[in-house]
Protein backbone atom coordinates (compact mmCIF):
# COMPACT_ATOMS: atom_id res chain seq x y z
CA UNK A 1 0.00 0.00 0.00
CA UNK A 2 1.44 3.40 -1.02
CA UNK A 3 1.76 5.88 1.83
CA UNK A 4 0.68 9.40 0.91
CA UNK A 5 3.46 11.88 1.58
CA UNK A 6 3.46 15.59 0.86
CA UNK A 7 6.37 17.03 -1.11
CA UNK A 8 7.97 18.17 2.14
CA UNK A 9 7.55 14.93 4.10
CA UNK A 10 8.79 12.35 1.61
CA UNK A 11 11.65 10.30 3.08
CA UNK A 12 15.19 11.19 2.04
CA UNK A 13 16.36 8.86 -0.72
CA UNK A 14 19.47 6.93 0.37
CA UNK A 15 19.11 3.88 -1.87
CA UNK A 16 21.14 4.93 -4.92
CA UNK A 17 22.60 1.43 -5.29
CA UNK A 18 19.08 0.15 -6.07
CA UNK A 19 18.41 2.77 -8.74
CA UNK A 20 18.96 6.44 -9.44
CA UNK A 21 16.65 9.23 -10.55
CA UNK A 22 16.97 10.15 -14.21
CA UNK A 23 19.09 13.27 -14.64
CA UNK A 24 17.04 16.10 -16.25
CA UNK A 25 19.81 16.53 -18.86
CA UNK A 26 19.43 12.88 -19.78
CA UNK A 27 15.67 13.29 -20.16
CA UNK A 28 16.17 16.35 -22.36
CA UNK A 29 18.57 14.39 -24.57
CA UNK A 30 16.06 11.55 -25.01
CA UNK A 31 12.85 13.48 -25.63
CA UNK A 32 13.37 14.31 -29.34
CA UNK A 33 13.78 10.60 -30.11
CA UNK A 34 10.31 9.74 -28.85
CA UNK A 35 8.32 12.10 -31.06
CA UNK A 36 10.48 13.89 -33.65
CA UNK A 37 13.28 11.48 -34.57
CA UNK A 38 11.38 8.22 -34.41
CA UNK A 39 12.53 6.11 -37.34
CA UNK A 40 13.54 2.46 -37.22
CA UNK A 41 17.30 2.13 -37.71
CA UNK A 42 16.73 -0.73 -40.18
CA UNK A 43 14.66 1.43 -42.52
CA UNK A 44 16.50 2.67 -45.62
CA UNK A 45 14.71 6.01 -45.88
CA UNK A 46 15.54 9.36 -44.28
CA UNK A 47 13.87 8.60 -40.96
CA UNK A 48 15.77 5.35 -40.55
CA UNK A 49 19.08 7.01 -41.41
CA UNK A 50 18.34 9.77 -38.90
CA UNK A 51 17.73 7.23 -36.12
CA UNK A 52 20.78 5.18 -37.11
CA UNK A 53 22.98 8.25 -36.87
CA UNK A 54 21.71 8.91 -33.33
CA UNK A 55 22.36 5.29 -32.34
CA UNK A 56 25.86 5.37 -33.82
CA UNK A 57 26.67 8.60 -31.98
CA UNK A 58 25.40 7.09 -28.72
CA UNK A 59 27.48 3.96 -29.19
CA UNK A 60 30.56 6.06 -30.02
CA UNK A 61 30.12 8.17 -26.89
CA UNK A 62 30.04 5.07 -24.69
CA UNK A 63 33.02 3.55 -26.51
CA UNK A 64 34.97 6.76 -25.95
CA UNK A 65 34.11 6.76 -22.24
CA UNK A 66 35.40 3.18 -21.97
CA UNK A 67 38.36 3.57 -24.37
CA UNK A 68 37.22 0.68 -26.58
CA UNK A 69 36.12 0.23 -30.18
CA UNK A 70 32.59 1.20 -31.19
CA UNK A 71 31.87 -2.32 -32.47
CA UNK A 72 32.57 -3.77 -29.00
CA UNK A 73 29.49 -2.11 -27.44
CA UNK A 74 26.23 -4.10 -27.55
CA UNK A 75 23.03 -2.52 -26.27
CA UNK A 76 20.83 -4.73 -24.06
CA UNK A 77 17.87 -4.26 -21.73
CA UNK A 78 20.18 -4.09 -18.71
CA UNK A 79 23.13 -5.63 -16.90
CA UNK A 80 21.27 -8.85 -16.10
CA UNK A 81 20.64 -9.58 -19.78
CA UNK A 82 24.24 -8.61 -20.59
CA UNK A 83 25.52 -11.09 -18.02
CA UNK A 84 23.20 -13.83 -19.22
CA UNK A 85 24.29 -13.40 -22.84
CA UNK A 86 28.00 -13.34 -22.12
CA UNK A 87 28.13 -16.11 -19.52
CA UNK A 88 25.55 -18.63 -20.70
CA UNK A 89 26.45 -18.48 -24.38
CA UNK A 90 30.20 -18.62 -23.74
CA UNK A 91 29.89 -21.60 -21.41
CA UNK A 92 27.57 -23.31 -23.89
CA UNK A 93 30.13 -22.90 -26.67
CA UNK A 94 33.30 -23.69 -24.72
CA UNK A 95 31.89 -26.32 -22.32
CA UNK A 96 34.24 -25.08 -19.61
CA UNK A 97 33.96 -24.43 -15.87
CA UNK A 98 32.22 -21.30 -14.60
CA UNK A 99 33.86 -19.49 -11.70
CA UNK A 100 32.31 -16.66 -9.70
CA UNK A 101 32.89 -15.06 -6.32
CA UNK A 102 30.71 -16.06 -3.38
CA UNK A 103 29.62 -12.43 -2.93
CA UNK A 104 28.33 -11.97 -6.47
CA UNK A 105 24.99 -10.33 -7.23
CA UNK A 106 21.95 -12.60 -7.07
CA UNK A 107 21.52 -12.43 -10.86
CA UNK A 108 24.95 -14.04 -11.38
CA UNK A 109 24.32 -16.59 -8.61
CA UNK A 110 21.14 -17.50 -10.48
CA UNK A 111 23.19 -18.08 -13.65
CA UNK A 112 25.55 -20.33 -11.68
CA UNK A 113 22.60 -22.31 -10.30
CA UNK A 114 21.15 -22.67 -13.79
CA UNK A 115 24.48 -23.97 -15.13
CA UNK A 116 24.62 -26.51 -12.32
CA UNK A 117 21.17 -27.76 -13.31
CA UNK A 118 22.52 -28.17 -16.84
CA UNK A 119 25.36 -30.30 -15.39
CA UNK A 120 27.98 -27.68 -16.21
CA UNK A 121 30.86 -27.42 -13.69
CA UNK A 122 30.57 -24.38 -11.41
CA UNK A 123 32.97 -23.20 -8.73
CA UNK A 124 32.36 -20.46 -6.17
CA UNK A 125 35.50 -18.47 -5.35
CA UNK A 126 36.39 -17.59 -1.76
CA UNK A 127 36.65 -14.06 -0.40
CA UNK A 128 38.38 -12.87 2.76
CA UNK A 129 36.74 -11.15 5.73
CA UNK A 130 36.91 -7.83 3.87
CA UNK A 131 35.06 -9.27 0.89
CA UNK A 132 38.10 -9.23 -1.39
CA UNK A 133 38.69 -12.14 -3.73
CA UNK A 134 41.39 -14.55 -2.59
CA UNK A 135 43.86 -14.19 -5.48
CA UNK A 136 45.93 -17.24 -4.51
CA UNK A 137 42.79 -19.38 -4.31
CA UNK A 138 41.69 -18.15 -7.74
CA UNK A 139 45.06 -19.06 -9.23
CA UNK A 140 45.03 -22.51 -7.64
CA UNK A 141 41.62 -23.22 -9.17
CA UNK A 142 42.51 -21.97 -12.66
CA UNK A 143 45.62 -24.16 -12.64
CA UNK A 144 43.28 -27.13 -12.47
CA UNK A 145 40.54 -25.99 -14.86
CA UNK A 146 40.41 -23.07 -17.26
CA UNK A 147 37.04 -21.47 -17.88
CA UNK A 148 35.05 -18.26 -17.60
CA UNK A 149 35.44 -16.18 -14.43
CA UNK A 150 32.79 -13.63 -13.39
CA UNK A 151 33.75 -11.03 -10.80
CA UNK A 152 31.70 -8.22 -9.26
CA UNK A 153 33.89 -5.11 -9.51
CA UNK A 154 31.98 -3.09 -6.87
CA UNK A 155 29.78 -5.15 -4.61
CA UNK A 156 26.16 -4.02 -4.57
CA UNK A 157 25.69 -4.65 -0.83
CA UNK A 158 28.99 -3.65 0.74
CA UNK A 159 30.67 -1.39 -1.82
CA UNK A 160 33.81 -3.57 -1.73
CA UNK A 161 35.94 -2.56 -4.72
CA UNK A 162 37.94 -5.45 -6.10
CA UNK A 163 41.53 -4.92 -7.24
CA UNK A 164 40.56 -6.11 -10.68
CA UNK A 165 43.74 -5.80 -12.75
CA UNK A 166 45.67 -8.67 -11.06
CA UNK A 167 42.51 -10.80 -11.22
CA UNK A 168 42.31 -10.26 -14.99
CA UNK A 169 46.02 -11.02 -15.37
CA UNK A 170 45.68 -14.33 -13.52
CA UNK A 171 42.68 -15.32 -15.65
CA UNK A 172 44.54 -14.64 -18.87
CA UNK A 173 47.71 -16.32 -17.56
CA UNK A 174 45.73 -19.55 -17.44
CA UNK A 175 43.89 -18.99 -20.75
CA UNK A 176 40.60 -18.18 -19.04
CA UNK A 177 38.12 -15.47 -19.98
CA UNK A 178 36.78 -12.92 -17.50
CA UNK A 179 33.37 -11.28 -17.24
CA UNK A 180 33.19 -8.20 -15.03
CA UNK A 181 29.91 -7.18 -13.43
CA UNK A 182 30.34 -3.39 -13.41
CA UNK A 183 26.74 -2.57 -12.54
CA UNK A 184 27.77 -0.57 -9.45
CA UNK A 185 31.05 0.61 -10.95
CA UNK A 186 30.37 1.95 -14.43
CA UNK A 187 30.42 5.75 -14.47
CA UNK A 188 31.34 5.83 -10.78
CA UNK A 189 34.98 4.76 -10.69
CA UNK A 190 37.78 5.33 -13.23
CA UNK A 191 38.03 2.46 -15.74
CA UNK A 192 40.11 2.22 -18.89
CA UNK A 193 38.75 -1.02 -20.33
CA UNK A 194 41.47 -1.36 -22.95
CA UNK A 195 44.13 -1.16 -20.22
CA UNK A 196 42.22 -3.46 -17.85
CA UNK A 197 41.72 -5.94 -20.70
CA UNK A 198 38.25 -7.23 -19.78
CA UNK A 199 36.75 -9.90 -22.04
CA UNK A 200 33.13 -9.04 -21.13
CA UNK A 201 31.54 -6.33 -18.99
CA UNK A 202 27.94 -5.62 -17.95
CA UNK A 203 26.38 -2.28 -16.97
CA UNK A 204 22.93 -0.69 -16.58
CA UNK A 205 21.69 2.79 -17.43
CA UNK A 206 19.49 3.29 -14.39
CA UNK A 207 22.47 3.03 -12.01
CA UNK A 208 24.06 6.16 -13.51
CA UNK A 209 21.07 8.55 -13.60
CA UNK A 210 19.90 7.22 -16.96
CA UNK A 211 16.68 5.45 -17.99
CA UNK A 212 15.61 2.00 -16.90
CA UNK A 213 15.36 -0.76 -19.49
CA UNK A 214 18.71 -0.14 -21.17
CA UNK A 215 22.16 -1.58 -20.54
CA UNK A 216 25.35 -2.45 -22.33
CA UNK A 217 27.45 -5.50 -22.84
CA UNK A 218 31.08 -4.83 -23.62
CA UNK A 219 32.51 -7.77 -25.54
CA UNK A 220 36.06 -7.81 -26.84
CA UNK A 221 35.79 -8.23 -30.60
CA UNK A 222 37.80 -11.45 -30.60
CA UNK A 223 35.29 -13.00 -28.19
CA UNK A 224 32.11 -12.12 -30.08
CA UNK A 225 32.23 -15.46 -31.85
CA UNK A 226 31.27 -17.09 -28.55
CA UNK A 227 28.06 -15.11 -28.07
CA UNK A 228 26.86 -14.51 -31.64
CA UNK A 229 23.60 -16.27 -32.50
CA UNK A 230 23.98 -18.65 -35.50
CA UNK A 231 22.17 -17.47 -38.65
CA UNK A 232 21.21 -14.19 -36.98
CA UNK A 233 21.05 -10.83 -38.75
CA UNK A 234 24.59 -9.38 -38.42
CA UNK A 235 23.23 -5.86 -38.96
CA UNK A 236 21.31 -5.94 -35.65
CA UNK A 237 23.67 -5.58 -32.67
CA UNK A 238 26.39 -7.49 -34.55
CA UNK A 239 24.24 -10.62 -34.64
CA UNK A 240 24.29 -10.90 -30.84
CA UNK A 241 20.86 -9.60 -29.88
CA UNK A 242 17.66 -9.34 -31.90
CA UNK A 243 14.81 -6.86 -31.75
CA UNK A 244 14.10 -3.24 -32.56
CA UNK A 245 16.71 -1.03 -30.91
CA UNK A 246 15.19 1.54 -28.47
CA UNK A 247 17.03 4.59 -29.79
CA UNK A 248 15.73 7.01 -27.10
CA UNK A 249 17.03 4.74 -24.33
CA UNK A 250 20.39 4.29 -26.07
CA UNK A 251 20.72 8.06 -26.39
CA UNK A 252 19.81 8.36 -22.70
CA UNK A 253 22.45 5.83 -21.66
CA UNK A 254 25.08 7.67 -23.69
CA UNK A 255 24.20 11.03 -22.17
CA UNK A 256 24.20 9.56 -18.65
CA UNK A 257 27.55 7.94 -19.37
CA UNK A 258 29.03 11.22 -20.60
CA UNK A 259 27.78 13.20 -17.61
CA UNK A 260 28.97 10.57 -15.13
CA UNK A 261 32.44 10.25 -16.64
CA UNK A 262 32.89 14.01 -16.62
CA UNK A 263 32.73 14.17 -12.82
CA UNK A 264 34.00 10.80 -11.53
CA UNK A 265 36.97 12.12 -9.54
CA UNK A 266 35.06 15.06 -8.09
CA UNK A 267 32.09 12.89 -7.14
CA UNK A 268 34.30 10.24 -5.51
CA UNK A 269 35.87 12.96 -3.37
CA UNK A 270 32.48 14.36 -2.35
CA UNK A 271 31.00 10.94 -1.53
CA UNK A 272 34.08 10.02 0.50
CA UNK A 273 33.53 13.08 2.72
CA UNK A 274 29.86 12.23 3.21
CA UNK A 275 30.71 8.60 4.00
CA UNK A 276 33.26 9.64 6.64
CA UNK A 277 30.76 12.07 8.13
CA UNK A 278 28.08 9.39 8.45
CA UNK A 279 30.41 6.78 9.95
CA UNK A 280 32.01 9.13 12.47
CA UNK A 281 28.67 10.51 13.68
CA UNK A 282 26.83 7.19 13.94
CA UNK A 283 29.73 5.60 15.82
CA UNK A 284 29.91 8.61 18.11
CA UNK A 285 26.18 8.28 18.91
CA UNK A 286 25.90 4.51 19.33
CA UNK A 287 27.91 1.56 20.60
CA UNK A 288 28.23 -1.81 18.83
CA UNK A 289 28.20 -0.31 15.33
CA UNK A 290 30.05 -2.26 12.62
CA UNK A 291 30.98 -1.21 9.08
CA UNK A 292 31.04 -4.32 6.91
CA UNK A 293 33.57 -4.57 4.10
CA UNK A 294 37.01 -3.24 3.35
CA UNK A 295 38.16 0.06 4.80
CA UNK A 296 40.62 0.69 1.96
CA UNK A 297 39.12 -1.06 -1.10
CA UNK A 298 35.66 0.43 -1.16
CA UNK A 299 33.39 2.59 -3.29
CA UNK A 300 32.30 5.36 -0.89
CA UNK A 301 28.73 5.56 -2.18
CA UNK A 302 27.73 2.27 -0.53
CA UNK A 303 27.88 1.85 3.24
CA UNK A 304 26.94 -1.48 4.81
CA UNK A 305 26.48 -0.91 8.53
CA UNK A 306 25.29 -3.22 11.32
CA UNK A 307 23.43 -2.01 14.40
CA UNK A 308 23.97 -4.93 16.76
CA UNK A 309 20.91 -5.91 18.73
CA UNK A 310 18.47 -4.63 16.10
CA UNK A 311 16.95 -6.59 13.26
CA UNK A 312 17.83 -4.84 10.02
CA UNK A 313 14.31 -4.92 8.58
CA UNK A 314 12.78 -3.58 11.81
CA UNK A 315 15.32 -0.78 11.93
CA UNK A 316 14.65 0.07 8.31
CA UNK A 317 10.93 0.39 8.99
CA UNK A 318 11.45 2.38 12.20
CA UNK A 319 13.70 4.97 10.53
CA UNK A 320 10.82 6.62 8.71
CA UNK A 321 12.58 9.77 7.48
CA UNK A 322 14.97 7.92 5.18
CA UNK A 323 14.55 5.42 2.34
CA UNK A 324 17.23 2.74 2.71
CA UNK A 325 17.66 -0.97 2.06
CA UNK A 326 18.43 -4.07 4.07
CA UNK A 327 20.66 -5.35 1.23
CA UNK A 328 20.47 -5.84 -2.52
CA UNK A 329 17.34 -4.46 -4.14
CA UNK A 330 16.88 -7.89 -5.75
CA UNK A 331 16.87 -9.73 -2.39
CA UNK A 332 15.94 -7.20 0.29
CA UNK A 333 12.32 -8.42 0.42
CA UNK A 334 13.55 -11.81 1.65
CA UNK A 335 14.08 -12.15 5.39
CA UNK A 336 17.33 -14.09 5.29
CA UNK A 337 20.89 -13.30 6.26
CA UNK A 338 22.79 -11.83 3.32
CA UNK A 339 24.81 -14.39 1.35
CA UNK A 340 27.41 -11.64 0.85
CA UNK A 341 27.99 -11.07 4.57
CA UNK A 342 27.82 -14.80 5.24
CA UNK A 343 30.57 -15.43 2.66
CA UNK A 344 32.71 -12.80 4.37
CA UNK A 345 32.41 -14.66 7.65
CA UNK A 346 30.39 -11.93 9.39
CA UNK A 347 28.85 -13.25 12.61
CA UNK A 348 25.11 -13.99 12.17
CA UNK A 349 23.97 -11.47 14.79
CA UNK A 350 26.00 -8.75 13.06
CA UNK A 351 24.83 -9.78 9.60
CA UNK A 352 21.13 -9.82 10.46
CA UNK A 353 21.38 -6.31 11.90
CA UNK A 354 22.85 -4.81 8.72
CA UNK A 355 21.53 -2.05 6.51
CA UNK A 356 22.74 -0.71 3.18
CA UNK A 357 22.90 3.07 2.95
CA UNK A 358 23.80 4.21 -0.55
CA UNK A 359 24.41 7.85 -1.35
CA UNK A 360 24.67 9.61 -4.67
CA UNK A 361 24.60 12.73 -6.81
CA UNK A 362 21.85 14.51 -4.89
CA UNK A 363 22.82 13.51 -1.34
CA UNK A 364 23.72 16.46 0.89
CA UNK A 365 25.42 16.85 4.26
CA UNK A 366 22.03 17.77 5.69
CA UNK A 367 20.65 14.44 4.43
CA UNK A 368 23.47 12.61 6.22
CA UNK A 369 22.77 14.43 9.47
CA UNK A 370 19.07 13.53 9.22
CA UNK A 371 19.94 9.89 8.55
CA UNK A 372 22.24 9.74 11.56
CA UNK A 373 19.59 11.28 13.81
CA UNK A 374 16.84 9.00 12.52
CA UNK A 375 18.93 5.82 12.80
CA UNK A 376 20.19 6.77 16.25
CA UNK A 377 16.67 7.28 17.60
CA UNK A 378 15.39 4.12 15.92
CA UNK A 379 18.27 2.03 17.27
CA UNK A 380 17.86 3.29 20.83
CA UNK A 381 14.12 2.58 20.67
CA UNK A 382 14.51 -0.95 19.34
CA UNK A 383 17.33 -1.82 21.71
CA UNK A 384 15.24 -0.66 24.67
CA UNK A 385 12.70 -3.40 23.95
CA UNK A 386 15.08 -6.04 22.60
CA UNK A 387 15.73 -9.25 24.51
CA UNK A 388 18.64 -9.91 22.14
CA UNK A 389 20.25 -6.61 23.13
CA UNK A 390 19.81 -7.49 26.80
CA UNK A 391 21.60 -10.79 26.20
CA UNK A 392 24.42 -9.03 24.33
CA UNK A 393 24.89 -6.62 27.21
CA UNK A 394 24.89 -9.56 29.61
CA UNK A 395 27.75 -11.14 27.65
CA UNK A 396 25.73 -14.06 26.25
CA UNK A 397 26.97 -15.46 22.93
CA UNK A 398 23.77 -15.18 20.92
CA UNK A 399 25.38 -16.62 17.78
CA UNK A 400 25.04 -20.08 19.30
CA UNK A 401 21.32 -19.49 19.24
CA UNK A 402 21.54 -18.56 15.54
CA UNK A 403 23.31 -21.88 14.91
CA UNK A 404 20.45 -23.74 16.58
CA UNK A 405 17.96 -21.80 14.47
CA UNK A 406 16.26 -19.87 17.29
CA UNK A 407 16.66 -16.53 15.54
CA UNK A 408 16.53 -17.74 11.96
CA UNK A 409 13.72 -16.21 9.87
The string over 184-215, giving b where at least 16 C-beta atoms fall within 10 Å of a residue's C-beta and e elsewhere, is bbbbbbebebeebebbbbbbbbbbbbbbbebb
Closest CA to 108 of 86, 93, 139, 133: 86
Choices 2.40.170.20, 3.90.600.10, 3.20.20.10, 3.40.640.10: CATH for 24-262: 3.40.640.10
Q: What is the pLDDT of residue 326?
A: 81
Q: What is the pLDDT of residue 254?
A: 98
Q: Give the whole-angstrom CA distance, residue 305 versus residue 91.
A: 37
Q: Mean pLDDT, the chain, as a whole number?
A: 92
Q: What is the pLDDT of residue 4?
A: 61
Residues 6+ apart with CB under 8 A from 336: 409
Among candidate residues 35, 97, 152, 330, the one labeled active-site is 330
- Delimit the domains of the chain by residue range: 12-20+264-403, 24-262
Q: What is the mean pLDDT of residues 389-403?
A: 78
Q: What is the pLDDT of residue 407?
A: 43
CATH of domain 12-20+264-403: 3.90.1150.10
Does 330 qualify as catalytic in the annotation?
yes
Q: What is the pLDDT of residue 5?
A: 63
The answer, yes or no, to whether residue 409 has pLDDT greater than 80, is no
Nearest-10 crossing angle of helices 79-94, 106-117 = 30
- Which of 16-25, 85-94, 319-328 has the least mean pLDDT? 319-328
Are the folds of 12-20+264-403 and 24-262 the same? no
Q: What is the mean pLDDT of residues 281-287?
A: 97
Q: Give the whole-angstrom CA distance, residue 139 versus residue 170.
A: 6
Q: What is the mean pLDDT of residues 194-199?
A: 96
The answer, yes or no, to whether residue 161 has pLDDT greater than 80, is yes
Q: What is the mean pLDDT of residues 351-367?
A: 96
Per residue in 116-149, pLDDT (tens digit) is: 998 999 999 999 999 999 999 999 999 989 999 9
By percentage, how much of the chain surpasses pLDDT 90? 82
Q: What is the pLDDT of residue 382?
A: 95
Q: What is the pLDDT of residue 327?
A: 62
Per residue in 303-352, pLDDT (tens digit) is: 999 999 999 999 999 999 999 998 644 444 445 688 999 999 999 999 99
Q: Give the whole-angstrom CA distance, residue 335 versus residue 408.
A: 9
Of 354 and 335, the structure prediction assigns the larger pLDDT to 354
The pairing of beta strand 97-101 with beta strand 122-125: parallel
Contact 326, 379 (CB under 8 A): no
Amino acid sequence: MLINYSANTKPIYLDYAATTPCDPKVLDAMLPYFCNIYGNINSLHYYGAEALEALTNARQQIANDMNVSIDEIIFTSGATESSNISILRTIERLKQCFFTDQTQHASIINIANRLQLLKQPVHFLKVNKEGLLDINYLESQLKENKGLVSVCLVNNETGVWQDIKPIVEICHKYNSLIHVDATQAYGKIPMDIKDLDFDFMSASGHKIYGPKGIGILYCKKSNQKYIRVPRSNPDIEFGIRAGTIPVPLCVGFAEASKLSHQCIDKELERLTKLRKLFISKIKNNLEEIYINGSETHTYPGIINVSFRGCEGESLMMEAKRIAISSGSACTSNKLTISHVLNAMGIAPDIAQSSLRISIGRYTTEENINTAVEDLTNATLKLRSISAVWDMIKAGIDINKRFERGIYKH
